[in-house]
């Protein structure tokens, strides 16, 4: 893979990572509820999901799934239901950040990791992103080194971007203000997740 091709890949990965959406909302929630460490755990768990999609695209499975509508739609529906469930939980603040903060209970690392990877793996839009934009770079990865770069680049870019978000939001001058708005952040996260679930179902 040439350096110029890698720069194109890097640019697309940066644009994808920086697009606001439910992933950002999830990192914000766990940074709010557990501080810097939990936000970073959520960020890198999310990036692992991105790496899995990159690997799936590299292996050609994304194209196979796209050509098998029943399988693809089944995965999309399961993902939409899970996203909707997470959204409803956030709206009700049932175990959400507001409830945890009120009880003096920080979010745990396992929950942060689970939500981070789930928000990437159960979002079919990420699969479509890789299929439409990322797959064009797969042909340039003719060697093992190129293939490793194809998988590692989006994973690292995603992890670093959301780590930066967690670091900024966990600053001593920012985090207390966020915690004052815990209920609102829970509600906004819930709305975003439910809208994403509805969009997934609508697009089938």
Q: Where are the domains of the chain?
A: 3-14+21-202
Confidence of residue 98 (pLDDT cuts 50, 70, 90): low
Greater confidence, 132 or 91? 91
Q: How far apart are CA 89 and CA 102, in angstroms?
A: 16
CA angle 162, 121, 144 (to 5 degrees): 85
- pLDDT at residue 40 is higher than 90: yes
Span 124-153, pLDDT tens digits = 677 777 776 676 677 667 788 888 998 999
Q: What share of the chain is helix, strand, coil (3-state, %, to 5)?
A: 85, 0, 15
Nearest to 152 by CA among 54, 19, 16: 54
Q: Where are the alpha helices (DSSP H) in 103-181?
A: 109-121, 124-132, 144-169, 175-180
Q: Any residues with CB less than 8 A from the CB of 163 and at least 6 apart, and which? A: 39, 40, 43, 44
Provide the whole-model pTM: 0.74
């Amino acid at each position: 893979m040439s350096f110029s091709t890698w720069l194109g890949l890097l640019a697309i990965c940066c644009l994808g990572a920086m697009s606001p959406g439910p992933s950002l909302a999830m990192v914000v929630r766990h940074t709010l509820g557990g501080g810097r460490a939990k936000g970073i755990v959520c960020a890198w768990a999310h990036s692992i999901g991105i790496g899995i999609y990159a690997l799936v695209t590299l292996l050609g499975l994304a194209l196979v799934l796209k050509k098998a509508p029943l399988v693809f739609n089944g995965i999309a529906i399961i993902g939409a239901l899970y996203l909707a469930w997470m959204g409803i939980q956030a709206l009700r603040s049932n175990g959400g950040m507001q409830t945890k903060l009120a009880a003096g209970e920080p979010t745990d690392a396992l929950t942060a990791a689970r939500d981070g990877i789930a928000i990437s793996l159960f979002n079919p839009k990420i699969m479509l992103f890789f299929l439409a934009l990322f797959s064009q770079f797969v042909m340039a990865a003719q060697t093992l080194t190129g293939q490793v770069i194809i998988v590692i680049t989006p994973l690292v870019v995603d992890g670093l971007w959301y780590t930066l978000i967690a670091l900024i939001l966990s600053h001593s001058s920012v985090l207390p203000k966020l915690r004052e708005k815990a209920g609102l952040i829970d509600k906004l996260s819930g709305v975003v997740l439910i809208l994403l679930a509805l969009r997934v179902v609508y697009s089938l």
